[in-house]
Homo-oligomer: A and B are copies of this chain.
Amino acid sequence: MNAPVLSHSRCGDCPIRHRAVCARCNADELEELDAIKYYRTYEAGQPIIWSGDVMNFVGSVVSGIASLTQTMEDGRTQMVGLLLPSDFVGRPGREGAAYDVAATTDVVMCCFRKKPFEELMERTPHIAHRLLEMTLDELDAAREWMLVLGRKTAREKIASLLAIIARRDATLTPGGATNRMVFDLPLTREAMADYLGLTLETVSRQISALKRDGIIELEGKRHVTVPDMRRLMEEAGDDSDGGFLG
């Protein structure tokens, strides 16, 4: 598996970065991480891990989008997290995977065999510390999402999701967080429905409604323009500018 051209200049720091460059990066650690890393690519739609599988690696998303989903026996599914570039996958100290992980778009992952990574973690408390912080971020995000799932209307759910994607895009395209915002939806209507606990028809209808009401503009089915983020946030019923991720 030869390393693809990367948008990051160095991938070695991915697992201890997470939505922002770590301020305390340490050359020795990166050296060690570089030594044990390798790359994997997945096509859109391809599974990465099945729930219950033994996971012998951890890693982070370099490019593309992956999703975490849970499925009931009768087929109902709920997406429980979105993995965007720089997000971490896998859990040191755990044997099996807890959810299905799948590539939503084409995905490049930077992986580390679990054993050496755990050993490195033992030696370098800084990495363990970063991992704790990242996990706390994910926990906050998951709990934020519980409010969305449990108490928001369909329209608010859609607006919340759009706000999250726009927001996340803004951090990747620095200078963001202005009122106007343009981005591509990385998810199908069905995937959005799975994320939001809705049906795809309801997702479609609510997107049409937001368009009709001038909250968003659509070019094709995926390219979104938000003329005024504040209005979108209002629709989301969400003063907190909380960023969900996964």
List the interface of chain A (C-beta within 8 A of B).
Answer: 68, 70, 72-74, 76-78, 80-81, 91-94, 98-99, 122, 125, 128-129, 131-133, 135-136, 138-140, 142-147, 149-151, 196-197, 237-239
Going nearest first, the 8 A-B pairs with the smallest beta carbon separation are A150-B197, A149-B149, A80-B143, A142-B142, A78-B150, A78-B147, A76-B151, A149-B150
CB-based contact B139/A135 at 8 Å: yes
CB-based contact B68/A147 at 8 Å: no
Copies of this polypeptide in the complex:
2
Tell me the bound Cα distance from A99 to B142 in angstroms.
Answer: 13
Query: A131's contact among B94, B98, B132, by CB below 8 Å, is which?
Result: B132
What are the residues of chain B within 8 A of A98 when measuring CB–CB? Answer: 140, 143
What are the residues of chain B within 8 A of A132 when measuring CB–CB? Answer: 92-93, 128, 131-132, 135
Query: A128's contact among B77, B93, B128, B149, by CB below 8 Å, is which?
Result: B128
